A and B are shown apart, each in its own frame.
Chain A
Amino acid sequence: MALQSLDIKRRSATTTPPPGVRKSPEVAKLIDISKCIGCKACQTACMEWNDLRDDIGKTTGIYDNPRDLDENNWTVMRFSEVELERGKLEWLIRKDGCMHCGDPGCLKACPAPGAVIQYSNGIVDFHEESCIGCGYCITGCPFDIPRISKKDAKAYKCTLCSDRVSAGVEPACVKTCPTGAITFGAKEEIIHHANGRIADLKGRGFANAGIYDPEGVGKTHVMYVLQHADKPGIYSNLPENPGISPMVSLWKGAAKPLASLALGAVAAGAFFHYVTKGANEVSEEIEKEFENEKR
């Protein structure tokens, strides 16, 4: 839920500058997958702080619970068992949720003014009061994050606890994480911290350890430390090179203003054709012919 704010960087379906007189430093949340034990405390803390309660679901025989994101579950742990080297099983647990992209596909696709807001600190927030429920944010998102509620047909996703952050405290999931796998702060400092973690992992045999902060979406404000940064796909299909689909860029880019102008040109062309050439009437000749026939 978006807050009233003077540090808005971008606003969906808006062609004039949003209120952005105030600037705040870029923030980031870092999820260190090598430290995650899959306890799901973050899921619980998220529901607790945001006061969301899903219906009790079904156990499907795997650790993922609930099975997917929805309007009540803005973050879920995705468990995958991977054997990169024979006999060396790795249990990779990825906390999935909104990545708070620098160039958000949801915001680009949204047709409702102000339903998606990007703050100057990098948080991308949905303002459900302005949401019309079309689901274009789902179409635009490169990470398959937003979900439309079956009850109220509004789109919901992680807010990065924009309410907490605006009051100077960390997101609920960060606060609760018992192993320190989730950290939060100024993006610059968090990247510094991540580099320390990566150096440590490399020293312990994870040669391809690295940070996940993809360029294609203008970098993100939720980042991962991956033991195998060369293979993000093994972390429950984390996209290797995420970006706004060219189809979405074309759909929401230059094509529409140009088409709008073209439609205006058709109307103007028709009007001026009438003004310059006059109406297409039955010729005098034929009119006379029929007059004579009548007599």
Chain B
Amino acid sequence: MAQHVAQPTATDPFVPAALPLKAIAPWAVFFGILMLILLYFVGAEQGATSVFSGTGVHEWVHDARHLLGFPCH
């Protein structure tokens, strides 16, 4: 009986405690926005809208844009 309590079984998952929302929020806001800016440059820059003029960014990621599912041109 005592052995049963001491020995964890393989079906016992390791479930960590939830991280407090206060600790996540600043990272989520700052890096969330940063990551979305990266996605914008891969997915939409110099297509529907442009931050930089020209077609350099569009042409450089052209194939990736098509294969990742973004409307390219």
Answer yes or no: do A and B interact: no
